[in-house]
Amino acid sequence: MRIIQLLLLWLLVLCGVQACSFRSTQLDLLMSAFNGSDETTVPYEELAWTMLWSGNDYRLMPIFPTDMSVTNFMDREGEVIVSFDGWQVVRADGVLPSELNITIEKTDTGLEYSSEDDVFATHVCEEFASTLEGQTTVWLQNCDSPEGPYTNEIRVNGSGSITFLRFLIHPRYPMLTLTPNNLLF
């Protein structure tokens, strides 16, 4: 519980640096995680993101490591972990039915997909390019693979909050999407 409280405090500090003000309901939501001593006080559903993948949906909590290099999204049991570095989903553990842990690395020409030190796919990908749709900035990365073309996507609202992530994590499976349950900032 102490780790979750520290991570939420770090999230509060980080968001405070990025935003001039908070709505009181948002601050109250984050601060409710610090009241009490059991896990029922953590507003899990309010802070959670929904991952849609292969016809199933999962509730994942964003966890920020101390070096802020990635955001890890994980379920309550810690069995499903998806890591996002700000531009790319770079890891997916516990998602594939074969229990393979996937690592995605950026190369000079695109993306390299591996599992347990075995590279199983290399795709040619363009750099992300943005377009504006109303108040939303849509970042698209077009990729080519032997299985066909696909597009990774990041959507950011006018307030600078990520509202949608869609990424390929394995060439033989559908794309993974992540959306926040609530936009707090």
pLDDT, tens digit (0-9, with 9 covering 90-100), for 68-100:
778 899 988 888 899 999 999 999 998 887 768
Nearest to 140 by CA among 123, 173, 150: 150
- pLDDT tens track for 125-177: 999 999 999 999 999 999 999 999 999 999 999 988 899 999 999 999 999 99
- Regarding pTM above 0.85, the answer is no
The residue type at 60: L
- Give the Cα separation of 71 and 61 in Å (integer): 10
**CATH top-level class of 48-180:** mainly beta
Q: How much is the pLDDT for 9?
A: 44
Strand 71-74 and strand 89-93: the pairing is unpaired
Helix (H) or strand (E) holding 6: helix 2-18
Token representation of residue 23:
């709505």
- Give the Cα separation of 108 and 121 in Å (integer): 15
